[in-house]
Chains A and B, each alone.
Chain A
Amino acid sequence: MTLRLTRKAAIGLAFACGLLLGSGQASAEKIVISNWDGYMPADLLANFTKETGIEAEMSVHATNEEIMGKVVAGGGKGYDVLFVSSPFVEALQNLKLIAPLDPAKIPNLANLYPEARALAYDPGNAHSVPYAWGTTGLCYRSDLVKTAPTSWMDMLKPSDDIRGKITMLATDRWLMAAGEKALGYSVNTTNEDEIAKTKALLIEAKKSLLAYDDTTFYSKLVSGEAVLVHAWDGWCNYGIAENAAIKFVVPKEGSDMWVDTMVVTAASEHKDAAMAFINYVLRPEVHRWVAENILYKVPNQKAMEGLDPKLIEQYPNIGMTPADLMKQEQLRDLGKAQKDYTRAVTEITSAQ
C-alpha cells in the first residue's frame, strides 16, 4: 500500500513538473524585461501589451552588476530586454551577450536627439538604445548651507559648518569620479599615479562625511540629517519633490555623463518582439510619460519638446540641454583597470 501511494505521488509530481516546464514554452510571444525597480511607469507594460498583443513580464534588478552577473552566469537565457548603464553595454557586447539591433524594426530611433545617436560607447545605436541620461553632481539644502556649493572641493574639503553633514555615493565609478574631476583628471583614467592621488583625496574627504549612501541620500537631505549630498540628477529631483529648498548643481570642474540604455539579449528567442518594445518606448508620448514619471531626462527630442514647462520650472535639471550634457565626460568600461578602481575604493571605504 505504501509503495503504491509513493508511486502515485511520484507520477503526480512528474506530471506537475511537466506542467511547469510546458507552461514556459507554451506562449510564443512573451518577453521578459529586466529594469531597475521604479525606473519605468507602472502602467507601461500593460499599455504595451494592449497595443501590440505581446505579453511582457517585468523582472527587477537592483544594480547593473546584479543583472550583469545573472546574464554572464546564464548566458542571458530567460531575458529579452535589459536596462543597463552604458559601460555595461560595452562589457556585454564584448562578451557577445547582446544582439545587434535592426534599425528598420525601430523606426522611432528618429525621435532621439542627434547627440543620442552618436554616443561614443555605441555610435549609431548598433547594440543599444538610450533610455534616460544625465549627470552626477551636488544636491543640497539651499536653506541650510551658508554658501551654495560650486565645486567638487566644496564637498571634499568642506567648510566647518557642513562637516559631518555630507554623504557621498559609494559605487566605485561615481565615488572615484568626484575625486578625479576635482583634481582635473578623466573619469576613465587608468593612470596609477592619478588613481593614487584621487584615493588620497577621497580618504581625506571621508573624515567630513556623515555616511556613504547610494540609495537614501535624498531622504537624509529632506530630514536635514545631511545638507549636501553627492547625487545623480534624477534622484535629487526626488528630494526636490518633497522640499523646494533642495537644489542641484553640476560642479564647475565638470562631471560624468551617464546613459542608461535598453539592449536585447543575444539569447532572446523573441528579438522582433523585444525590438517592438524598444520602439514602443521611443514613441514621443510614451517616452514623455517616462520622463514625467521617473523625473529623469530622456534622450528623446520629440518627448522632451512635449514636456510640461512647469515640470522644468520645478526640477531645473530636467531642462539641461543635450549640448550641456555632452560637455560632461562619458563613463567607459575600464577593462583590466577595474581591479585598480575596486582596490582603491576598498582602501577608501575601509580607511579608519
Chain B
Amino acid sequence: MTSITVPTTKARPRRWPPAARTRAGLLALPLGWIALFLVLPCALVVVLSFFERGTYGGIDYIFTLENYGRAADRLYLGILLTSLKIASLVTVIAFVLGYPAAYLIATAPARWQKLLLVLAVLPFWTNYLIRTYAWIVILNRQGLINGLLSWLGIASEPVDLLYNEFAILVGLVYAYLPFMILPLYAAISRLSPDLIEASTDLGAAGFTSFRRITLPLTVPGAAAGAIFVFVYSMGNFITPDLLGGGRTVMVGNLIYDQFLTARDWPFGAALSFILMGLMMALLSLQAFLVNRARRMGTYD
C-alpha cells in the first residue's frame, strides 16, 4: 500500500495554499448539509405555496396566489396574533426567570458552575413528549397541585390548571427556559469583574451598577435567548394540543393541520413561508440591535 503514489496531484500546480484547502474541505460538508437539508426544503416550500390543492389532496401544478390571499383572512390573522401573544409572554417570563438563574450560575464558585449548568439542561435528556405528559400529571384536576391544595385546605373545588392558555404558557416556559439561561450565562460570565469594581468605586451602589453596567452589557445575550425562546414557541404545536387541550390554535397547529389533516400542502406551505419571513425579519432586527450595541462599544 505504501508504495502507491498519487502522481496527478504532484503534477498539478497548487492554486490554493494547503490551509485554505483544509478550510474549504472542512466547510464543504456543513455547507453541503445546509444546502441539502435546509435551503432545498425551504425552496420547495416556497415553490409549493404557489400551486393549487388537488381534489384528492395532491398538488395541481397550476400557478395561483390564492394561498396567500387565504392566509390574509381574519381567521388566520387572529391565530397569528394569538401565537404572537403567547410566544411574547413566554419570552418575557423566561427572561424574568432565566436572568436571575443565569446570574447566579455565572457568579457561583467555579466548581459549582458546571454542576448548575448540567442541572439547567438536564430536562433535555428526557423526550419532550414525556416531559409534556408529566405536566398533565402535575396540573390536572386530580393532579399533584390540586391534591396539595385540597390537602392544605386552600381549595375545596379543584382549580382548572390544565387545558387552557395558562397550561400552554407553563409548558412552553418550562421547555425553553434553558435556551434563555445558556446565552445569558455566557454573556454574564464574560463580563469583567473589573467593570463592576470600577463602577462601585465610583459610587454606584449594587443595584445601580447592575442596572447601568451589567444589564446593558448582557443585552446581546438576552436578545439571543429571547430569539430562541420566541421562535421555538411560535412553531410549537405539541404543547397547545396536549396541555392546551386543543382549545387554543397556534400557528404551528395550523400548519400541522394543513399538512397532516387537510392534505392541503400548498396552503400549509404558504403559511410556513409567511412564518419564515416573519422569523427572518425578527432575526435581522436582533442582529441589527446587537451590531449597534457592538458599535457603541458596549459589548466585548
In contact, B258 and A342 (Cβ under 8 angstroms): yes
A145 to B140 CA separation, bound complex (whole angstroms): 20
Shortest A352–chain B CB gap in Å is 8
Annotate A340-352 by CB proximity to B: 1 below 8 A, 0 otherwise.
Answer: 0111011101100
Shortest B211–chain A CB gap in Å is 39
Annotate B148-175 by CB proximity to A: 1 below 8 A, 0 otherwise.
Answer: 0000000000001011000000000000
Interface residues of B in 42-84 (CB under 8 A from A): 53-58, 75-76, 78-79, 82
Which residues in A have their C-beta under 8 angstroms from that of B57? Answer: 68, 72, 91, 95, 338
- The stretch among A104-112, A130-138, A205-213 that forms the contact with chain B is A205-213
B136: nearest chain-A partner, CB-CB: A216
Interface residues of A in 146-172 (CB under 8 A from B): 164, 167, 170-172
Choice from A3, A95, A212, A341 contacting B246 with Cβ under 8 Å: A212
A209 to B56 CA separation, bound complex (whole angstroms): 32
In contact, A209 and B75 (Cβ under 8 angstroms): no
In contact, B55 and A94 (Cβ under 8 angstroms): yes
Q: Is B279 an interface position by the 8 A CB rule? A: no
A and B contact pairs by CB, cutoff 8 A, 6 listed: A68-B57, A72-B57, A167-B245, A212-B247, A338-B57, A350-B79
Which residues in B have their C-beta under 8 angstroms from that of A342? Answer: 257-258, 261-262, 264
Shortest B252–chain A CB gap in Å is 13
Q: Is A329 an interface position by the 8 A CB rule? A: no
Annotate A292-327 by CB proximity to B: 1 below 8 A, 0 otherwise.
Answer: 000000000000000000000000000000000000
Q: Is B9 an interface position by the 8 A CB rule? A: yes
Which residues in A have their C-beta under 8 angstroms from that of B56? Answer: 90-92, 94-95, 333, 335
Which residues in A have their C-beta under 8 angstroms from that of B259? Answer: 65, 69
Which residues in A have their C-beta under 8 angstroms from that of B262? Answer: 172, 338-339, 341-342
In contact, B246 and A346 (Cβ under 8 angstroms): no
A337 to B15 CA separation, bound complex (whole angstroms): 62
Which residues in A have their C-beta under 8 angstroms from that of B55? Answer: 94, 335-336
In contact, A339 and B264 (Cβ under 8 angstroms): yes
Interface size on B (CB < 8 Å)? 36
Shortest A37–chain B CB gap in Å is 14
Q: Is B249 an interface position by the 8 A CB rule? A: yes
Shortest A145–chain B CB gap in Å is 17
In the A-B complex, the 4 residue pairs with the closest CB atoms: A211-B245, A212-B246, A342-B262, A350-B249
Could you list 11 further interchain pairs (A-B, Cβ under 8 angstroms) beyond the known A72-B263, A90-B56, A206-B247?
A3-B9, A69-B263, A72-B57, A95-B56, A209-B247, A210-B245, A223-B142, A335-B55, A346-B79, A346-B257, A350-B248
Shortest A259–chain B CB gap in Å is 18
Q: Is A66 an interface position by the 8 A CB rule? A: yes
Q: Is B254 an interface position by the 8 A CB rule? A: yes
A211 to B136 CA separation, bound complex (whole angstroms): 12
A65 to B257 CA separation, bound complex (whole angstroms): 10
Q: Which residues of A contact B (CB under 8 A)?
A: 3-4, 7, 63, 65-66, 68-69, 72, 90-92, 94-95, 164, 167, 170-172, 206, 209-213, 223-225, 333, 335-336, 338-339, 341-343, 345-347, 349-350
Q: Is B19 an interface position by the 8 A CB rule? A: no
Choice from A65, A91, A210, A350 contacting B75 with Cβ under 8 Å: A350
Choice from A65, A212, A341 contacting B245 with Cβ under 8 Å: A212
At the interface, is chain A mostly helix, strand, loop or mixed?
Answer: helix
The winner among A171, A211, A336 for most chain B CB atoms within 10 A is A211
A66 to B265 CA separation, bound complex (whole angstroms): 12
Instruction: Indicate whether A213 sits within 8 Å of B245 (C-beta atoms), given known contacts A4-B6, A95-B58.
Output: yes
Which residues in A have their C-beta under 8 angstroms from that of B58? Answer: 72, 95
A333 to B262 CA separation, bound complex (whole angstroms): 12
The winner among B55, B82, B259 for most chain A CB atoms within 10 A is B55
In contact, B141 and A225 (Cβ under 8 angstroms): yes
In contact, A350 and B82 (Cβ under 8 angstroms): yes
Shortest B21–chain A CB gap in Å is 10
Which residues in B have their C-beta under 8 angstroms from that of A167? Answer: 245
Which residues in B have their C-beta under 8 angstroms from that of A7? Answer: 6
Q: Is B4 an interface position by the 8 A CB rule? A: yes
Annotate B232-268 by CB proximity to A: 1 below 8 A, 0 otherwise.
Answer: 0000000000000111110001100111111111000
In contact, A211 and B4 (Cβ under 8 angstroms): no
Which residues in A have their C-beta under 8 angstroms from that of B79? Answer: 346, 350
Which residues in A have their C-beta under 8 angstroms from that of B163? Answer: 210-211
Shortest B66–chain A CB gap in Å is 10
Shortest B201–chain A CB gap in Å is 55
A346 to B265 CA separation, bound complex (whole angstroms): 16
A349: nearest chain-B partner, CB-CB: B249
A336: nearest chain-B partner, CB-CB: B55
A147 to B142 CA separation, bound complex (whole angstroms): 24
In contact, B75 and A343 (Cβ under 8 angstroms): yes
A279 to B122 CA separation, bound complex (whole angstroms): 50
A170 to B9 CA separation, bound complex (whole angstroms): 64
Choice from A65, A224, A346 contacting B249 with Cβ under 8 Å: A346
A172 to B162 CA separation, bound complex (whole angstroms): 23
